[in-house]
Chain A
Amino acid sequence: MADLAPLRDALRAVGADPSLVLSPEAAHVVAYGHHVVSVQSVPGVIVLAERERDAIRAEVTVVAGARLAQPVHLCFGLFEPRGIQNVRLALVMERDARATFWSHCLFPLAEQARHAMDATIRLDERAELVYNEAHYHGLSGGIEVLPVARVSVGRRARYRADFSLVSGRVGRLEIDYTVEVAEDGVAELTSRVHGRGEDRIAIREAVHLNGVRARGLVKSRVAVEDEASAEVVGATFGNAAESRGHVDCLEIVRGNAKASAVPEVRVTHPLAKVTHEAAIGSVDQKQLETLMARGLSPEDAADRIILGMLR
């Protein structure tokens, strides 16, 4: 196995336990830049990864009926100030498979770096996937991160994705996720991002409820301060009878930061229903005063509220 020390250090720095991530019982793929460092399959999970000319190509299949006790870990990153990492990920959850994935995207030293992820995720009938994506981009803000995902959620399948980038700097982030949900399927997408300095955040998450009784939730929690900016588009399309969707966007703005929230909801079937709510502005005064009435300074109260929102 190649040198995993940089990954271990970075995981510890973000509060993760390297021994769990790299456990012999857990499937994983580890790649630094375009160098595949470690690949591990376990019963029920087939992991393949190889270097292509300008990218890492990873394929992960959780076989039909597999119920994974340990999460699958996808560890991508750069451990030097400059570099490019392109990842092409194909993830398949076969029928009745159930798994949790942790995608650790770590760029602790990035000063002039770029990470682009192009993911295709397929959930077959009754499969269940929890996909947690935790990013750490270091403190310089000199990174571009461009994750794109196309997800198909099969009949009676359940997909829950949670994107988190709440410590350090963001740099430039452009999330573009599209999810198609079949009959009785469920998709829940949550993104939590905290921008500072000159960070630029653009999030577009769209859920297409194509099957009867499909359900979707698009939830975003974004805080921006200093000179940072955020543009969030949460979209839900009700295309089938009894499909139900909701878009829930909350953004807190401090300092000279700027933010926009655009909930996009549309139905193309008379029995579909989609709703949205969006709140954008400074920290809620009532929440602030509730904590100040317990002795917190205005600054500490605001920090506590933002921390909670991003939890």
Chain B
Amino acid sequence: MVNMLVDIRGLRVILADRPVLDGLSLEIAAGELHALLGANGSGKTTLACTVMGCAGYAPAAGEIVFDGERIEQLALHERARRGITLAWQEPARIEGLRIGEFIRTGAPAADAEAALAAVGLDPGAYLQRMLDRTLSGGERKRIELAGALALAPRFAILDEPAAGIDLLSIDEIVSVIEAIRAKGAAVLLITHEEAIAGRAQSASQLCGGRIVCRGAPREVIANYKARRCARCDGATCGYG
């Protein structure tokens, strides 16, 4: 029997009087790369923020169990200290904070140069640069991923890590995600990129606030693209 590092049960999250997550359950094992697919607005980022413990994302019901411990009452930084981290869909810029300092935050012994090189950024050009708005969206996303790599998390939530990344660099991103997983981390990979989702060990499809399909990535992607959805008949979640 596989021990599940992450075990989410019956999660319900209400935002602006609307249940965005409505009884969602999902399990991820240590060392498992799990891709989560779903249409815009289906609740993928809400799930990421809820598991991480962001302000305004307290569950109305359900449990989030990490390594056998219920964590839904823990503050965000307490979850982080247990080994959970989130690489944001739209990462923040922080004026006056150098990129090297950011990558070493929470990981003082990390090799920031190696982490930057892994995401295809020249450490000589980026370590001393500020994590501010002079960075492009793609650069900032790469730095976010480098930061996650440096932390060596036990559970990494990667929210669209390839968004804004040029096509020629997608393989680098996939390699970094694989490197995080290879250290034994559970990885929840939120993505719209079929090529990236296809590299996962497992995948699931989110619609109407619930997981409606789980299996091998190839099957879930096919199901999704065919608009097969028990919950909405593809009207909500299909790519078309």
| Known A294-B80, A296-B77, A297-B77; contact A309-B95, beta-carbon cutoff 8 A | yes
CA distance in complex: A284, B96 (Å): 14
Contact residues, B76-90 vs A (CB, 8 A): 76-77, 80-81, 85-86, 88
Whether the pair B97, A295 counts as a contact (CB closer than 8 A) is: no
Return chain A residues, CB-CB under 8 Å to B151.
294
CA distance in complex: A221, B151 (Å): 31
Whether the pair B147, A289 counts as a contact (CB closer than 8 A) is: no
Whether the pair B55, A290 counts as a contact (CB closer than 8 A) is: no
Query: B141-170 toward A: CB 8 Å interface, digit per residue (1/0)?
Result: 000000100010000000000000000000
Interface-lining segment among A53-61, A109-117, A300-308: A300-308
For the complex, is A69 an interface residue (Cβ under 8 Å from B)?
Answer: no
| Known A289-B54, A294-B85, A294-B107; contact A311-B77, beta-carbon cutoff 8 A | no
Contact residues, A260-311 vs B (CB, 8 A): 284-287, 289-298, 301, 304-305, 307-311
Query: B95-120 toward A: CB 8 Å interface, digit per residue (1/0)?
Result: 11100000001110000000000000
Whether the pair A290, B88 counts as a contact (CB closer than 8 A) is: yes
For the complex, is B41 an interface residue (Cβ under 8 Å from A)?
Answer: no
Whether the pair B97, A304 counts as a contact (CB closer than 8 A) is: yes
Chain B interface extent, by class: 20 to 34
For the complex, is B52 an interface residue (Cβ under 8 Å from A)?
Answer: yes
Task: Say which residue of A221, A250, A293, A309 sits within 8 Å of B52 (CB atoms).
Answer: A293
- Smallest Cβ distance from A95 to chain B, in angstroms? 33
- Smallest Cβ distance from B108 to chain A, in angstroms? 10
| Known A285-B55, A289-B54, A289-B55; contact A295-B80, beta-carbon cutoff 8 A | yes
For the complex, is B15 an interface residue (Cβ under 8 Å from A)?
Answer: no
Return chain A residues, CB-CB under 8 Å to B88.
286, 290, 293
Which residue of chain B has its CB nearest to the CB of A284? B92
- Smallest Cβ distance from B147 to chain A, in angstroms? 7
CA distance in complex: A192, B77 (Å): 29
Return chain A residues, CB-CB under 8 Å to B95.
221, 250, 308-309, 311
For the complex, is B19 an interface residue (Cβ under 8 Å from A)?
Answer: no
Task: Say which residue of B54, B55, B77, B97 sits within 8 Å of A308 (CB atoms).
Answer: B97
For the complex, is B91 an interface residue (Cβ under 8 Å from A)?
Answer: yes
Which residue of chain A has its CB nearest to the CB of B55? A285
CA distance in complex: A286, B147 (Å): 16
Return chain B residues, CB-CB under 8 Å to A295.
77, 80-81, 105-106
Return chain B residues, CB-CB under 8 Å to A304.
97, 105
Which of A287, A308, A311 has the most chain B CB atoms inside 10 A of its CB?
A308
Whether the pair B96, A308 counts as a contact (CB closer than 8 A) is: yes
For the complex, is B94 an interface residue (Cβ under 8 Å from A)?
Answer: yes
| Known A294-B105, A294-B107, A296-B106; contact A307-B96, beta-carbon cutoff 8 A | yes
Which of B52, B77, B92, B105 has the most chain A CB atoms inside 10 A of its CB?
B77
Whether the pair B77, A292 counts as a contact (CB closer than 8 A) is: yes
- Smallest Cβ distance from B113 to chain A, in angstroms? 18
Return chain A residues, CB-CB under 8 Å to B147.
294
Return chain B residues, CB-CB under 8 Å to A221.
95
CA distance in complex: A291, B54 (Å): 12
Whether the pair B105, A296 counts as a contact (CB closer than 8 A) is: yes
Which residue of chain A has its CB nearest to the CB of B96? A308
| Known A308-B96, A308-B97; contact A292-B76, beta-carbon cutoff 8 A | yes
Whether the pair B80, A292 counts as a contact (CB closer than 8 A) is: yes
Whether the pair A286, B92 counts as a contact (CB closer than 8 A) is: yes
Whether the pair A293, B86 counts as a contact (CB closer than 8 A) is: yes
Whether the pair A293, B85 counts as a contact (CB closer than 8 A) is: yes
Return chain B residues, CB-CB under 8 Å to A309.
95-96
Task: Say which residue of A284, A286, A293, A308 sits within 8 Å of B80 (CB atoms).
Answer: A293
Return chain B residues, CB-CB under 8 Å to A250.
95
Whether the pair B81, A287 counts as a contact (CB closer than 8 A) is: no
CA distance in complex: A285, B81 (Å): 19
Return chain A residues, CB-CB under 8 Å to B52.
289, 293
Which residue of chain B has its CB nearest to the CB of A294? B106
Which residue of chain A has its CB nearest to the CB of B90? A286
- Smallest Cβ distance from B101 to chain A, in angstroms? 9
- Smallest Cβ distance from B140 to chain A, in angstroms? 11
Contact residues, B161-214 vs A (CB, 8 A): none
Contact residues, B9-26 vs A (CB, 8 A): none
Return chain A residues, CB-CB under 8 Å to B86.
293
* Chain A contact residues, CB within 8 Å of chain B: 221, 250, 284-287, 289-298, 301, 304-305, 307-311
For the complex of A and B, list the 9 residue pairs with the smallest distance between their C-beta atoms, beginning with the closest: A308-B96, A294-B106, A311-B96, A295-B106, A292-B77, A286-B92, A295-B80, A308-B97, A290-B92
Provide a sorted-by-A list of 12 A–B residue pairs whose CB atoms are within 8 angstroms: A284-B92, A287-B93, A287-B94, A289-B55, A290-B88, A292-B80, A293-B80, A295-B77, A295-B81, A295-B105, A305-B97, A308-B97
Please give 9 more A-B residue pairs, beta carbons under 8 A apart, in addition to A286-B92, A287-B92, A290-B88: A286-B88, A289-B55, A290-B92, A290-B94, A292-B75, A293-B80, A294-B107, A294-B147, A304-B97
